[in-house]
Structure formats: C-alpha cells, structure tokens
Amino acid sequence: MKLPRFSKRDASAMTLLELLIVVTIIAILMAILVPSLGKVMEITRAAKNTVNLREIGLATINWAADNGNRLPSPEYPGGMEVPSGMSEEEYFPEYYKLGDSGLWLDGVVFGAVYLQETVRTERTENVDVDSSVGGYDVDAQGTHLKGTLFENTQSVRENPDIRDWHEHSYAMNANLQYDRIYDQVGSSDPYLTEKSMATILFKPKAMLYIENQESNVVQYEDLEAIIETGETRWGNNGKISTTFMDGHAERLHPSQIPSQDPETDRESSRFWRGVDP
C-alpha cells in the first residue's frame, strides 16, 4: 500500500495557513499586552517623578534647618524689606540669583541641591554666576532644570512643544500660614514671605510642593489649574504628585485634594495652610 504524497503546492498552502495562525496569535497577544505594558511604564514614570519631588521636599526642609528654621519665600525674597539697621546679607539667607525669575525653584532649592559649593567658590573668585553656574546654562527658559530632579519627565513627554522647563516642573504652596515675620517687615503679599517651620503645626498634612504647569507658585485658588495639570500629564482623573512638610510624598487623586475654603474647613486648612482654621 502506497502512502499519500503531497505536492509542493499542498505544503506551501499548509505553511501559509500556519503563518496566518501565528500572526493572529501574536496580534491577539499584542492587543492584550501592549496596553498593560504602557500602563506599567506610566506607573514607573509616575513613581520616579514622585520620588524626585520627595527629594526636592527634603532638600527644602534641610535648607530651612540651615537657615533659621525658615522656609524660603515662594517668590524670593517675597517682597520683604530689610529691617532698619540690618544689611541684606545679615537678614536674608544665602540664595542664588539665577536669571531674573526670583523663584524658590531657581534661587534657593535648585542652588542648594546642585550649586552650593560651586557658587561659593565662584563668588569668592568674583565670577559672574548669573549667566552660567556649575556647567548649567541659566536662562529664562529654565535650561538649568532640564534633566535634574526638577524636571517632570511626564510633562516633557506629553507636552514636547513646551520649551520652558519651569512649566515642566513643580509648584510651591504659597498658602502656608505666614507668621510674625510678616508683622516685622513690609511685604507686598504676606503669603510670599518666609514661613517659620515651627508655626506649621500639621506637617504630615501640610502640602509643600505639587504638580502645576501654569505657575511655580500655587494657592488654594489654583486648585482647578492643579487638577488640569494632572489631566494634561496623566490623563482623566490622573493622580498628582505631592510632597508634604514632613518629607513624605504621594500621588493624590483629584478627589483627595481638599477643595473646601481653608478659612473655614479644617481638613482644607491643614492641607493648604498647615494650621487649623
């Protein structure tokens, strides 16, 4: 009895069928795995940015510990006037005049994290530190923030056309309760003055930094802009990286950010002002 013989045409047809089955299986697997992989990558980026923001918060707290236990002004030096009989060097902590922004982001915390030793050396040698410091190009577009802890990589990813790295960074809470410092000096806005750490009674609940693309300084009135930033960077109902006065950081769903008037609501007051109403 002779065995059946297959023509080359039959063999080719079977090979093509097998190939189609394999391609179909791969397509199904890709459809299942790619969204999951994308979600994993997003979670990884979110975790990295939250860790970076925590480091910024800790650097700020350490800076305050070295400067009379005072937080830097959100817009440094916050419109404050030097008291009579004192010089600026005696009254204000050291900060770094990087460009003309006058923000904590440039002149205080960034300098403390990256430039402290370099700037001290260059000042001693009478080198102009306003144009280039420690290898960082300093300009109005925040070039010196690029690739540092202050860069929100998700913002860069989702908004590649934005070339101002201040918009790819974070915002400081200006609502934190001001204290006797404001009573002692003149200021255009009490919320832009320095704050004594000792007056922020609810540090674990008091927000220090949060994501916000619109500006690098926020108050309770900027809640809508903060939520919009979360949606722009992370999608609808996207969680927002936040760090607190006790040094911990977490991602908050928009519903977790207190939205009531901090002047009357306890939870909101502790989050935005660090004190009870």
- One-letter-per-residue 3-state SS of 114-165: HHHHHHHHHHHCCCCCCCEECCEECCCCCHHHCCCCCCCHHHHHHCCCCCCC
pLDDT of residue 160: 93
Confidence of residue 124 (pLDDT cuts 50, 70, 90): very low
pLDDT of residue 94: 67
**Which tokens belong to 120?**
């001290």
- Please choose, from the candidates 94, 95, 93, 105, the residue with its C-alpha nearest in 3D space to the C-alpha of residue 68: 93
Confidence of residue 2 (pLDDT cuts 50, 70, 90): low
pLDDT tens-digit map of 139-159: 788 888 999 999 999 999 999
pLDDT of residue 106: 84
pLDDT tens-digit map of 76-104: 777 677 778 888 777 776 666 666 677 88
State the Cα–Cα distance between residues 237 and 263, nearest whole angstrom: 26
Question: If you average pLDDT over every residue of the chain, what do you get?
Answer: 81
Detail the DSSP E strand segments found in the chain: 70-71, 132-133, 136-137, 170-173, 195-196, 207-211, 217-218, 240-244, 249-252
Task: Report the range of poorest mean pLDDT among 3-7, 218-222, 254-258.
Answer: 3-7
State the Cα–Cα distance between residues 137 and 135, nearest whole angstrom: 6
SS3 assignment, position 236: coil
Q: Is 193 exposed, middle or buried (0-12, 13-18, 19+ CB in 10 A)?
A: buried
Confidence of residue 74 (pLDDT cuts 50, 70, 90): confident
One-letter amino acid at 209 equals: Y
Instruction: Provide the pairing of β-strand 217-218 with 170-173.
Output: parallel
Which residue would you say has higher pLDDT here, 118 or 47?
47
Confidence of residue 235 (pLDDT cuts 50, 70, 90): confident
Confidence of residue 129 (pLDDT cuts 50, 70, 90): very low
- Please choose, from the candidates 209, 15, 257, the residue with its C-alpha nearest in 3D space to the C-alpha of residue 109: 209
Highest mean pLDDT among 80-84, 98-102, 189-193, 227-231: 227-231
Domain residue ranges of the chain, discontinuous segments joined by +: 45-272
Question: If you count them, how many residues does the chain have?
Answer: 277
pTM, full prediction: 0.79
